[in-house]
Structure formats: C-alpha cells, structure tokens
Amino acid sequence: MNISIILVPTDFSAHAEYAYTWALELAVRWNAKVVLFHATPMLSSLVYPETMYAVDLARMEQDGLAEAEKQLKAAAAKKGVSTVTVETKVVMGEAVHEICAAANECRADLIVMGSHGRTGLAHVFLGSVAERVVRHATCPVLVARSLQAAA
C-alpha cells in the first residue's frame, strides 16, 4: 500500500486537531503530503423569514472563507512538521459532499478525520459527517476518535 496524499478535513474543533496530529504522524511514516481542508457552509442557500433584517450574504460568505483560510494557515503553521508538506484548501459547500469531492480532486489515498463521538438522539438529529464520509468516500477513511469523545 502506498500512501502519498492524506486529506484532513477540519471544523477547527479539538477532535479535528486530534485527527490532524494522527495525519501528521502517518505522513512522516509514509513520506506523504497532507492537505488540510475546510468546507464552509453557504449562507445564501439558507432560507430567511421575510421579516428578517436583510444582510449582504455574499460578503458574509467571503468573510467566512477568508477567516477559514486564516485559521487553516495558522493550524498548518502551529502543527507543521518540517518533513511533511502541508497544503491548505477552503471551499464553500456542504461538508460531506465537499470532503468527498476534495479527496477525488487531490487524489487522496487516505482521509483522516475526527469524530465528535455523538451517540443516541444527538447522533440521530445532528448526524455524523464522519460516518457519511466513510460511506461515500472513494478512498479509505481513518476516523480518529479522541479520548474526550469517548467520555
């Protein structure tokens, strides 16, 4: 098995940071490149009541993209290992779809992502991005569940 590109989706949570740590360790062992990835939701696709104050959604989306890019660059710099190449990518869209599309686009050999570890009703109502990525991704997915998530 040859692993040369590892995609690491992040929502900037502690769970995602834990998965990123795993990905960096694996990248060192396999001499692989890491693509740190974030999908920010599209605000313009949300439906607002007519009485809601009108806002410039396009500007808010661009600000969200810029902020996500800034956070990704900071995460890459903070955790970067000198022997591992880390690229960052931010897109706008629904997380599961965009993660799977990014894996195909960058030809990822592996996706490493965190899990919040929700169970019961929280899992039913909030769903699991990690679970849906496992079902739909065309490459293997390693879900790094931190000890906090197990508690």
What is the rounded CA–CA span in Å between residue 83 and residue 62?
A: 33
Q: Pairing state of beta strands 110-114 and 86-92? A: unpaired
| 44: pLDDT strictly greater than 90 | no
Which domains, and CATH codes, for the chain? 5-150 (3.40.50.620)
* pLDDT tens column, 69-116: 999 888 888 765 678 899 999 999 999 999 999 999 999 999 999 987
What is the rounded CA–CA span in Å between residue 131 and residue 117?
A: 10
Selected residue with higher pLDDT from 126 and 137: 137
**Three-class SS state of 115:** coil
| 67: pLDDT strictly greater than 60 | yes
Task: Identify the pLDDT of residue 30.
Answer: 94
* pLDDT tens column, 10-42: 999 888 999 999 999 999 999 999 999 999 887
Question: Cβ(27)–Cβ(112) under 8 Å?
Answer: no
What is the rounded CA–CA span in Å between residue 138 and residue 151?
A: 31
Amino acid at 55: V
